[in-house]
Structure 1
Amino acid sequence: MLALQVSLVLLLLSALFNVISLATDFWITAPGGHFGLWRLCALNICGTLGKGAEIDATRAFSIISLLLLLVAVMMQILEIWSKTVLSGTNKQKLTAILSFCAGASALIAMSVFTGSFRPAGSTRFSWSFALGWVSTALSLVAGAAAYLAFNNNPQ
């Protein structure tokens, strides 16, 4: 039961960090401004970030990761508190699979962004970017915890 609760906490933290990372615009900072996946701010003037293959791929895979995390959270909650809902399915195994898929999707998103934008000089990656990586790691660890819970108590 402890592995189920640990997995749920990790999933919730991962989803929270993913939402914060997606919503904020501090992925890269420079002395004159900063930008994220949606907005670019320079000299206290913010505007919408234009389209680009790398940004669009990062956005898409981050959103896919968030959606998978939300479904995994729902499955984990159902596993812990309502054994009768979806009783024909193995919710714990599904939670583990969804968590690993969310982690893989987030890994693709973060890798695309990391490989596409290489800060130089005083430009650097910032805290929104770091939260994206933390969310990636947490979703993979949550998947491992859910898998361990499944192996300890297969249905």
Structure 2
Amino acid sequence: MGVKKSLQTGGNLLNLLSSILTVLSTTTNYWTRQQGGHSGLWQECTHGKCSNIPCQNTVAVSAACMVLAATFSIVALGIGIRIQCREAESRRSQNTIVLLFLSGLLLLIALAVYTSKNAWKPEVFFSWSYFFGWLALPFLFIAGFCFLLADMILQSTEAISGFPVCL
């Protein structure tokens, strides 16, 4: 297995891990804990009874960015696997790189907005769903860099192959 293939495999594995973490973070209701309950992007649970969260701008922005980040990450995973499986075709991975970095940026925006809303409340503590989002963030960027390096190797190989070699 060459360096390019190893980077693509590593990028796909990191993207798979970040996709799982992002989807779990988005869909679960344990972003914050407070006295007697917990809440997420979609529901707030108090004393075992859950109800939908009323529309708030910051939570809506966070939820939209999280859904887009998860979607882009999953699409990038599909494209990355397709690139890796079709070795005979000379496919470059700019779309995957863009989707991974865009997904990371959206994830960062979602988490920063949610943090700014809840960071100064003394009775609120961040919980595991929220931390899964932060854990997915570096994996997305590292996966993007893996595909970027693999693409640079492919570009340099294509550029060098056009030059005649005289020894």
Q: TM-score if structure 2 supplies the norm length?
A: 0.85
In 1, the alpha carbon distance for the partners of 2:120 and 2:131 equals: 14
Q: Which has the larger radius of gyration?
A: 2
Query: 1:58 corresponds to which residue?
Result: 62
Partner of 1:98: 99
Q: Conserved in 2, the CA contact under 8 Å of 1:119 and 1:125?
A: no
CA distance in 2, matches of 1:52, 1:88: 47
Which whole-Å CA distance do the structure 1 matches of 2:147 and 2:127 have between them?
31
Q: List runs of 5+ in structure 2 lacking aligned partners.
A: 159-167
Whole-angstrom CA distance in 2 between matches of 1:58 and 1:122? 21
In the TM superposition, what whole-angstrom CA distance separates every residue of 1:9-31 from its partner, at most 9, and x where no partner exists?
Answer: 01101110011001110000013
Pick the aligned partner of 1:12 from 4, 10, 16: 16
- Percent sequence identity is 26
Tell me the CA shift for residue 123 of structure 1.
2.4
What per-residue deviation string (whole Å, max 9, x for no partner) do you get for residues 28-53 of structure 1?
00131000001100111111111110
**CA contact under 8 A between 2:83 and 2:91: conserved in structure 1?**
no
Contact 1:10 1:139 in 2 (8 A): yes
Bigger mean CA deviation after superposition, 52-61 or 133-142: 133-142
Q: What TM-score do the two structures reach when normalised by structure 1? A: 0.91
Count of residue pairs brought into register by the alignment: 152
The CA RMSD measured in Å over matched residues stands at: 1.6
Give the unaligned 5+ runs of structure 1. none
The match for 1:43 is 47
Q: Write out aligned runs for 1:65-104 (5 A).
A: 65-83=69-87, 90=92, 92-104=93-105
Matched residue type, 2:8: L
